[in-house]
Amino acid sequence: MADAEQIVIVGASLAGATAAETLRKDGWSGGIVLIGSEQSLPYERPPLSKDVLLGKAETGSAQLHDQQWYDDNTIELRLGTTVTAIDPAVHTVTLDDGSQVQYAKLLIATGSRVRHLDVPGAELDGVRYLRTAEESQALTDAYAAKPRVVVVGAGWIGLEAASAARERGCEVTVVEPQSTALAAVLGEEIGELFAEFHRQHGVQFRFGTGVEGFEGDGKVTGVRVSGGEVLPADLVIVGVGVRPNTELAEEAGIEVATPENGSGIVTGPDLQTSAADVYAAGDVVRWEHPLFGRPVRVEHWQNAKDTGVSAAKAMLGQDVAHDAIPFFFTDQFDLGMEYAGDIPRGTSYQVVLRGDPKSGAYVAFWLDDDRHVLAGMHVNTWGAIDAVRDLIRSGKQVDPARLADTSVELSDV
């Protein structure tokens, strides 16, 4: 690419802003246009469900850079602007005002959006979701009044919202149709450890329970659950997952995986899509993982940063084979957790615990049928996550007994 050519990034997200930063660091001196539908400068999402909800930080603290940084690096920001179409044949994107922007290379970093509950009363005031900085601030303000809170969904966002609400002095009930917390991502054994931890901090759970609707006259007053019972609520937080924003790619004829196959924009290890000069990063990308030998899509903060960097390097013509091991972290009450790895949907596995969960500090591993480490996480056992990554990357068979034995170094299992 000649220096005068322009790179366009659709999505002023963490992935998009990280890609723009990497382009400049790696020597790209041509134009960079970063387009985002929100009015806010690009920001990170983890603080929104952690320190911001706890009232310890303002939403502005989640910003990646201030406006001056973008000016100094000659990155053109078009905020409050939505891309309505991509035309790979002529290398243009169309904006919501009808204008078009030419690109030499294009990055799709459109992220994901929350799944909404389609039940009676879903439009009532006080039924909230948590995805954007604005939504986080609204919840933070609502917590100050110490309302009765019902959280719908015992996934990561639901548990973080519940934790923050309890720490702010709210009465909290979590409603979840599965048998325990985090069952879909951690399995029942480890999920129940998290559920019990929350119970010890005063969170109530209704497992095996669905939501039939929300009660109230203008403002929510209760959650009607399966069986007809109504749980009193002044504030409802719905956390039932997200869906990737792949519509632009689909409409442009770019290959997109079906929901049955994990959703996301399909790419190779270099994060290039089926369209020439078009790449994807962040929540929307489903790439062929060179280490795992299968497609992977990840919805977490670290993935947005990692794929933003890799996509930028690939757009600059560097040799890229994106093989980062998925990573996630959470903070809930006095629990700190880091998780690395990926367990394909439907995979059978063995869980190995290292340390006593009752002590509040332990490591958990998920092994496949051949005793390879698929994933591992630590709870309040700092410094362990690098060894977890090493075990995953090594692909070696491990002895479950030695893995569980805290007297054996993880490097020696």
Distance CA(98)–CA(13), nearest Å, equals: 22
Q: Which of 270, 255, 153 is nearest to 210 (CA)?
A: 153
Strand ordering across the sheet containing 148-152 = 127-129, 235-238, 148-152, 171-176, 204-207
**pLDDT confidence of 60, banded at 50, 70, 90?**
confident
Q: Can you give the pLDDT at residue 345?
A: 86
Give residues with Cβ within 8 angstroms of 386, minimum separation 6.
none
- Write the pLDDT tens digit of every residue in 255-289: 999 998 899 999 999 999 999 999 999 999 999 99
- Write the pLDDT tens digit of every residue in 15-29: 999 999 999 999 999
Transcribe 205-257 into DSSP letters: EEET--EEEEEESSBEEEEEETTS-EEE-SEEEE---EEE--HHHHHTT--B-
**pLDDT confidence of 394, banded at 50, 70, 90?**
very high
Q: Can you give the pLDDT at residue 2?
A: 45
Taking a C-beta distance cutoff of 8 angstroms, is the pair 265, 108 a contact? yes
Q: Is the pLDDT of residue 390 over 50?
A: yes
Q: Residue 277, exposed/middle/buried by CB under 10 A (0-12, 13-18, 19+)?
A: middle
- Write the pLDDT tens digit of every residue in 177-192: 999 999 999 999 999 9
**DSSP bridge pairs for 150:** 173, 236
Strand ordering across the sheet containing 335-341 = 327-332, 335-341, 373-379, 362-367, 350-354
Domains of the chain: 6-113+243-315 (3.50.50.60), 119-240 (3.50.50.60), 334-412 (3.30.390.30)
Portion of the chain with pLDDT greater than 90, in percent: 93
Residue 358's SS3 state is helix
The mean per-residue pLDDT over the stretch 5-22 comes to: 97
Between CA 177 and CA 190, with CA 50 as vertex, the angle to 5 degrees is 45
Distance CA(283)–CA(280), nearest Å, equals: 9
CB burial string 112-137: b at 16+ within 10 A, e below = bebeebebebeebebbbbbbbbebbb
What pTM value is reported for the model?
A: 0.95
**pLDDT confidence of 3, banded at 50, 70, 90?**
very low
Distance CA(175)–CA(152), nearest Å, equals: 5
How much helix, strand and coil, in percent to the nearest 5, is found in the chain?
30, 30, 40
- Write the pLDDT tens digit of every residue in 99-129: 999 999 999 999 999 999 999 999 999 999 9
Q: 122 is written with which tokens?
A: 């879903």
Compute the CA torsion angle 158, 159, 163, 165 (nearest 10 deg): 20
CB burial string 143-161: b at 16+ within 10 A, e below = beeebbbbbbbbbbbbbbb
